[in-house]
Structure 1
Amino acid sequence: MIEGVKVKKLLKHCDDRGFFAELVRDDEPELLAKFGQASWSMSYPGVIKAFHYHEKQDDLWFFPSGNAQVVLYDLRENSPTKGLTDIYYMGEENPIMLLIPKGIAHGYRVLGERPATIIYFTTESYDPENPDEKRISWNDKEIGFNWNTKYK
């Protein structure tokens, strides 16, 4: 696992009305040291949104509907896991919160035949005058990730 990445398995409280689950709390500083912004996005089946990274902010991702293959790549120069790639399968089938520290390139591919919705929290608010988003191509040769499904 890439150093600094954290996974929180969600506890669902189910009854005959449905379910309830807490995503992130203010007494969990191990997930978000500071709250900056909450955002919501939807992507269609097969879409790849990759890669980007931040120099100032950490991201905390959650997929409440649909399913996604999330890929992380450690770009941090002084990290013991520099150059390591991690893959997470998130969404309805695996409801987890994923903390992505600054300096980790990240992206996802929507799996299945339904759109995927992501809700994410950041430690900084988005600044359109000076965005903290550095882009890397989805097929970057250094990362070298194969986004194709491997049929076995």
Structure 2
Amino acid sequence: MIMIPGSLPGVYEITLSSNPDLRGYFQRLYDEQTFQEFGLHCNWVQENRSFSRKKGTIRGLHMQFGVHAETKLIRVSKGAIYDVFVDLRKDSPTFCMWDAVLLTEDNQRMVYIPKGFAHGFCTLVDDTEVVYKVDHVYSPAHEGGVYWKDETLRINWPILKPVISNKDQRLPSLEVFLNQHEDYQNRGRST
């Protein structure tokens, strides 16, 4: 398992190691000791699976805030995604900056995203399955998000006419989100 710090503080791109033989391969998907060596202490409480039938499906940009803020560990078990994360930690030097990584079933990568980030992805092929761990139980009362095509963020999505839910189409702009949730980081969120 190779852990590489991302360009946004607290984000890690993780490359998994495989032990192949004539039957296939063995791979460790999570190693608490390795994570602790990098100062990443997580108590994963849920693991979720997201399946998207169509190439060009965008899910996001989602987050939970306050005491329900989530750290995520994301990987693709089938297909490929352009995975996007936006730093919404007001005390961060990269506040309101975004980055992205390519996650595929073949490149054996995962991404670790700490609390305080909005997250989303775009599927690059049909029938894509994303699996991710979170360190907090989902709370509808603490969910929020930012419009995927926010003009301030200028995210370079690989699809211009995506398949997207009505709920995600109605997410607020970054400016509106920050105004509505001005105190979201003061409700018990820790970095």
| TM-score bucket (shorter structure) | 0.7 to 0.9
**Within the alignment, does 1:138 sit opposite 2:148 as a pair?**
yes
Alignment of 1:12-27 (within 5 A): 12-27=18-33
Deviation at 1:2, TM superposition (A): 0.6
CA RMSD of aligned residues (A): 1.9
Alignment of 1:87-106 (within 5 A): 87-106=100-119
Identity between Structure 1 and Structure 2 (%) = 30
**Within the alignment, does 1:47 sit opposite 2:53 as a pair?**
no
Q: Point out the structure with the larger strand share.
A: 1
Paired residue for 1:147, among 157, 162, 171? 157
Paired residue for 1:8, among 9, 14, 25? 14
- CA offsets, 1:57-112, max 9 Å, x none? 10110101101001111111100111222110001232112111111111100013
- CA offsets, 1:23-58, max 9 Å, x none? 113333344521211111211221011211222210
**Within the alignment, does 1:119 sit opposite 2:119 as a pair?**
no
Q: How many residues align?
A: 147
- TM-score normalised according to structure 1 size: 0.86
Equivalents in 2 of 1:139, 1:149: separation in Å? 11
- TM-score normalised according to structure 2 size: 0.70
- CA offsets, 1:87-144, max 9 Å, x none? 10001232112111111111100013x321111001112245x3x4212211122222
Q: Equivalent residue for 2:187?
A: none
| Structure 2 alignment gaps of length 5 or more | 1-6, 161-191
The 3-state SS of whatever aligns with 2:99 is strand
**Within the alignment, does 1:110 sit opposite 2:110 as a pair?**
no
Alignment of 1:74-93 (within 5 A): 74-93=87-106
Deviation at 1:16, TM superposition (A): 1.2
Query: Do 1:32 and 1:123's aligned partners in 2 also have CA atoms closer than 8 Å?
Result: no
Equivalents in 1 of 2:91, 2:107: separation in Å? 31
